[in-house]
Structure 1
Amino acid sequence: MPQRFDLIVFDWDGTLFDSTALIVKSMQSAAADLGLTPPSRERASYVIGMGLLEALRYALPDLDAADYPKLGERYRQHYFASAHEVTLFDGVPAMLEALKARHHWLAVATGKSRRGLDEALAAVKMERLFDGTRTADETASKPHPQMLLELMREFGADPERTLMIGDTSHDLELARNAGCPAVAVTYGAHAHDSLRRYDPLLVAHDVPSLQAWLLQHA
């Protein structure tokens, strides 16, 4: 069967990397460090996928603008102190290896910083599997389409032959803004109903079902 997609772009946190709980805890701890009322789990998890500054502004909207850098620094300290405890979702390495064997280009588009993504990729020894990556501190934050537009331009991939896979509405809106089809996963940050309204090609509830669909339809 001919391949439908040349380029498959994954979100990182909550899609490949099981870090949702750590991100929420780090954001809540950072707020507590500054004597602020921590955001709820729902509010903190909603921002996953955004760039850090945009995420903090949403999670704690009443903070003085001058205090966001301090909050961001506390967040990074909490996150990196425990990042080594987090790993890929079960089945992710095998899925990526299978897609690589089919000669898809694989990429990551993430709200993480370049430092954060590079350290995570090195920790799980996955650098060789990805042909391209984009982070929120080197391009526009999701859901702006710039990440996908840059990756498509890098590989000469057309929008209709580029697939975005993510666990948040920011990922699916990114795909829509770039004119690309998308697949949603529900084992990350956002609930099924908030993802379904973007009409993804698939809503996958675990990595095995995502892999099975990709090997048959991608």
Structure 2
Amino acid sequence: MSFSLIVFDWDGTLMDSQARIVDCLQAAFLEVGQPRPSREAAADIIGLGLDEAMARLWPAADAAQRQRVAHHYRRHFLVDNTTPAALFPGALETLERLGAAGYLLAVATGKSRRGLDLSLAETGLAGHFQATRCADESFSKPHPQMLLEIMDELGVAPACTLMIGDTEYDLQMAANAGAGALAVCYGVHAPERLRALRPLACLNSLAAIPDWLRQTDGAAVA
């Protein structure tokens, strides 16, 4: 293996935003007079595009009803909600180490463009990534479009691309795009679910990624 492009998922991989997303989803359902989904059900769809998430959480709803919930969710997440969401420990240091080692870095996320841009601005991480793709710009995970477009933009082949994420959707997207997949086991989906998809490894922290690359990929990561 010899990777030159590393693509990160955002929520649950780089940012600990599960509680905020779940709170906003539950509040959005209550606003339209629907029972709120359980915290477990709401967390399970993190990583999908918002339309796909609404379809799973309220399968009996029509398109207009789902759009109403999505509208309220966006308002809560982008404006009203104050639930803290912070980078996971080691996120900045890991990105700095990988960038210094010469890797191209990118993000493929189920967030909207507005949501990702807000998070990048709040965390100051925008300058670390050479490309980003969001679910409102393409098909949702696990469809490979986001990953394929990133690889095409940066001129990197699937065999040289590594997708890092915390959900089945990330790993399935990587497989569908012909890219390598590395799981992190501290996020949304349980480690046993991730390991069932046979990622290259399932790591317990972001800080472990550079060492794994050095040992597995022969990379000179300081």
Structure 1, unmatched stretches of 5+, are: none
Contact (CA 8 Å) 1:160, 1:181: kept in 2 or not?
A: yes
**In the comparison of the two structures, how many residue pairs are matched?**
216
Q: Using the aligned pairs only, state the percent identity.
A: 49
1:129 deviates by 0.3
Q: Secondary structure at the match of 1:142?
A: coil
Query: 199-208 or 108-117, which moves further after superposition?
Result: 199-208
1:207 deviates by 2.1
Q: Secondary structure at the match of 1:137?
A: helix
Matches of 1:83 and 1:178 in 2, distance apart?
Answer: 36
Which residue does 2:62 correspond to in 1?
Answer: 64
Which residue does 1:17 correspond to in 2?
Answer: 15
Which residue does 1:175 correspond to in 2?
Answer: 174
For 2:16, the aligned partner's letter is: D
Matches of 2:200 and 2:149 in 1, distance apart?
Answer: 23
Matches of 1:174 and 1:126 in 2, distance apart?
Answer: 24
- Tell me the alpha carbon deviations over residues 75-130 of structure 1, each in whole angstroms, 9 at most, x when there is no partner: 11111223683121111000000000011000000011110001100100111100
Contact (CA 8 Å) 1:14, 1:20: kept in 2 or not?
A: yes
Matches of 2:187 and 2:82 in 1, distance apart?
Answer: 17
1:210 deviates by 3.0
Contact (CA 8 Å) 1:84, 1:123: kept in 2 or not?
A: no
RMSD after superposition: 1.4
Q: Secondary structure at the match of 2:164?
A: strand
Which residue does 1:187 correspond to in 2?
Answer: 186
Matches of 2:29 and 2:209 in 1, distance apart?
Answer: 35
Contact (CA 8 Å) 2:17, 2:84: kept in 1 or not?
A: no
Which residue does 2:136 correspond to in 1?
Answer: 137
Instruction: Name the TM-score, length of structure 1 as normaliser.
Output: 0.94
Instruction: Say whether residues 1:94 and 2:93 are aligned partners.
Output: yes
Matches of 1:204 and 1:23 in 2, distance apart?
Answer: 23
Write out aligned runs for 1:19-34 (5 A): 19-34=17-32
- Tell me the alpha carbon deviations over residues 120-163 of structure 1, each in whole angstroms, 9 at most, x when there is no partner: 00100111100000001111111110111111111111111100
Write out aligned runs for 1:1-218 (5 A): 4-80=2-78, 81-82=80-81, 85-218=84-217
Q: Secondary structure at the match of 2:143?
A: coil
Matches of 1:26 and 1:82 in 2, distance apart?
Answer: 7
Q: Secondary structure at the match of 2:81?
A: helix
Structure 2, unmatched stretches of 5+, are: 218-222
Contact (CA 8 Å) 1:99, 1:215: kept in 2 or not?
A: no
Q: Secondary structure at the match of 1:5?
A: coil
1:71 deviates by 0.4
Matches of 2:46 and 2:157 in 1, distance apart?
Answer: 27
- Tell me the alpha carbon deviations over residues 51-86 of structure 1, each in whole angstroms, 9 at most, x when there is no partner: 101111111212232211110011111112236831
Contact (CA 8 Å) 2:20, 2:84: kept in 1 or not?
A: no
Contact (CA 8 Å) 2:58, 2:66: kept in 1 or not?
A: no
Contact (CA 8 Å) 1:110, 1:136: kept in 2 or not?
A: yes
For 1:107, the aligned partner's letter is: A
1:208 deviates by 2.4
Query: 96-105 or 73-82, which moves further after superposition?
Result: 73-82
Matches of 2:110 and 2:200 in 1, distance apart?
Answer: 23
Instruction: Name the TM-score, length of structure 2 as normaliser.
Output: 0.93
